[in-house]
Amino acid sequence: MKAIILAAGQGTRLKPLTNDRPKCMVEYQDKPIINYILETMKECDISDIAVINGYKKDVLEDYLKHEKLTFYTNENFATTNMVSTLFCAKDFMNDDLIISYADILYKNEVLAKIIDSKSNFNVVVDKKWKELWEQRMENPLEDVETLKIKDGNIVELGKKPKSYYDIEGQYIGLMKISKNVINEIIDFYFALDKKKTYDGQNFENMYMTSFIQLIIDNLTNVNPVFINGGWVEIDCIEDMKSEMVND
């Protein structure tokens, strides 16, 4: 099994903490976010890890120089989004693959649960998301996205919810793709119409949730791997005060 950490972004909402370092090097409770992720992966016996960098790539590579990692770079990080970053490492994708955002921290149990998932495409879904969002903002409904499940599979995610009934959990930015479908997914991505827009974004700036929705609609079922807390996202200065909601 392999893992890819998507660490190309600057994290403008974390300025000035990201003026001289990438977002994943911001410290949460006195330790850089990337350290938490790498430690959790190692404790779950994942050692073949790629990091896709971009903003302040030299700072990140120097910081991680003693780690056994494979580096890829999104040279266009300033004008592209997460999906473009992911496929900068297409040559690394030849095994069961964990994909992790670089601004989230999660307990070993969360990662272990997605590692053990057996479907072709698996996405961690937090059922206890509202407790975390209530720490971060006054009105969680303004920030969260839809996630709907039917017959045990995710059928919709990433849209603007009309009410809390549209939210059966929250996507956290952690997933697993089986080696059985990885080549099909790579081919599917590169065959998409580069001139179309996807949820209002051009091809290069497609959201990850938009890409997962395309997978749902065109390729394979997407399996929700349910958790009840055990993670935290660091996206803005206010998030530095957030605490993991425990199961």
Sequence spans of domains, the chain: 2-236
Using left for φ > 0, alpha for ψ between -120 and 50, and beta otherwise, residue 81 falls in beta
Low-confidence spans in the chain with pLDDT less than 50: none
Query: Nearest Cα to 230, choosing from 163, 174, 159?
Result: 174
* Residues 31, 100: Cα–Cα separation, whole Å: 18
| pLDDT per position as a tens digit, 146-163 | 999 999 999 999 999 888
Classify domain 2-236 by CATH number: 3.90.550.10
Determine the Cα–Cα distance for residues 229 and 211; give it in Å rounded to an integer. Answer: 25
User: Residue 137's pLDDT is what?
Assistant: 67
Q: What are the tens digits of pLDDT across the range 1-10?
A: 999 999 999 8
| Two structure tokens written together for 98 | 């964990």
